[in-house]
Structure 1
């Protein structure tokens, strides 16, 4: 994929996290300019350290809290005033885990704000430029938890369901302007998200028992799928969800 996305401007939320880190590096390797939004200072520092010197000028680290929506909107207006954003990757998410009745309404709203409303704001900011140039790619990161196999994740699953609905609605509405919108549903990857499980060894066994591919997924597996969906080669694919899960959920 080297050079395949040269000149493309990518907006990526959650860009320094467990799955975002490698994808950001792969986008840079493909020639893209990446506006990487993440609030975690230590992860941002590691991403910057891992960025090759020749690509550093194309990486713009935006250390922002997505719950500060006025600040997000102002920054996006500044970015899009220069040139259009070509690719939007709505990836940022928080994932508290506890029984549904234990969540306060404020906690439920916080998950929706980060996981869904940030996607609304980023997509709305990029849309005019994509429409004007007749080309755009939107990739929403959902989850295989939508299959119903997990408990104590109600607000997270709800938010991913909203992103799935938006994927299909945006694909239908934006297609006439040369804009595609697709979703990827990652399976169980060994990231910080797994730390919510009280029995790590038991969880790994659970994962391997359910996958048809008997190895753990890597960030490269996610990155390869996202880069494909962001490319010219995926121009006739829209409104779809690709499960990157080692053959766990099959449709």
Structure 2
């Protein structure tokens, strides 16, 4: 059934987004990836009918055009994976209003814009999956990530409320909460100062999380058989937070 479904993944040029594109393509989904960065590598890995679109998720006009490009290329749209985001660590007292707005705009407003643009097509198909990538920080509340934690907690609220708004349309809305995952972006952000090791030591599974650790959960929430699962946040962080 996967070959009949079309998925759009944001933040698809690298990291988790790229892995999600590849994993969905391998499972037979037709995949489109959206990012401000070059998507050549993702396209090479995902292969097949992958469509890469360079666009900013915070730009309503660009997102609307991107969604129409997906429809033009693939004919339909059924799955939206809101993965694009930033996670700067900074002391609360040193967080400027510009820092705060930048995090909120990309991490919270971006999913709103992308989902709102895609929703008419999911409704027209009579079947859909919206998957929001949040973070285990919503359960842990690290003191140096107040803006990021707030943005992801907002996305959890978005997940729950939107699930209630679209349930009658055959559309589910769920969130996946990774822990600190070993990607090139994370390595640049936290790897140099031992962040991976500190997080690993908080887990009950004593190894660093890899992108592949999230793939089975993504496949689960997108699956045909998961139509009764909605409004949920699934925590996949090696047991740092249990709730």
TM-score higher than 0.5: yes
What are the Cα deviations for residues 123-179 of structure 1, in whole angstroms up to 9, with x where unaligned? 112212222332110000110111234122122111101110011001111111111
List aligned pairs for 1:1-251, cutoff 5 A: 4-41=1-38, 44-52=39-47, 55=48, 58-80=49-71, 83-191=75-183, 192-197=185-190, 200-201=193-194, 203-251=195-243
SS for the counterpart of 1:117 is: helix
Q: For 1:151, what is the secondary structure of its paired residue?
A: coil
Q: How many residues align?
A: 241
- Deviation per CA, 1:87-115: give whole Å up to 9, x if none: 01011001222122323322222211211
SS in 1 for 2:206: coil
Q: Which moved more, 1:99-108 or 1:139-148?
A: 99-108
Specify whether residues 217 and 197 from structure 1 end up closer, same or farther in structure 2 by C-alpha distance, changes over 3 A only: closer
For 1:190 and 1:121, locate their aligned partners in 2 and report how far apart those are by CA, in whole Å: 28
3-state SS, counterpart of residue 197 of structure 1: helix
Query: 1:54-98, CA deviations, whole angstroms, 9 ceiling, x for partnerless residues?
Result: x2xx21111222333322223224434674310010110012221
Q: Any gaps of 5 or more consecutive residues in structure 2?
A: none
Q: CA RMSD in A?
A: 1.9
CA separation in 1, counterparts of 2:3 and 2:241?
Answer: 34
Q: What is the Cα deviation at residue 40 of structure 1?
A: 2.1
Q: TM-score, normalised by structure 1?
A: 0.88
Q: 1:160 and 1:81 mapped to 2: Cα distance?
A: 32
Q: Deviations over 1:26-68 (max 9, x none)?
A: 1111111111011222xx232233234xx2xx21111222333
SS in 2 for 1:181: strand
Distance of aligned partners of 1:129 and 1:45 in 2 relative to their CA distance in 1, 3 Å threshold:
closer
The change in CA–CA distance for 1:135 and 1:157 in structure 2 (over 3 A counts) is: same
After TM superposition, the score normalised by the length of structure 2 is 0.91
- Structure 2 counterpart SS, 1:110: helix
C-alpha distance after superposition, 1:174-232 (max 9, x if no partner): 1111111100000121122243337533x333222211112222211112211111111
C-alpha distance in 2 between matches for 1:60 and 1:124 = 20
- Contiguous gaps of at least 5 residues in structure 1: none
SS of residue paired to 2:3: coil
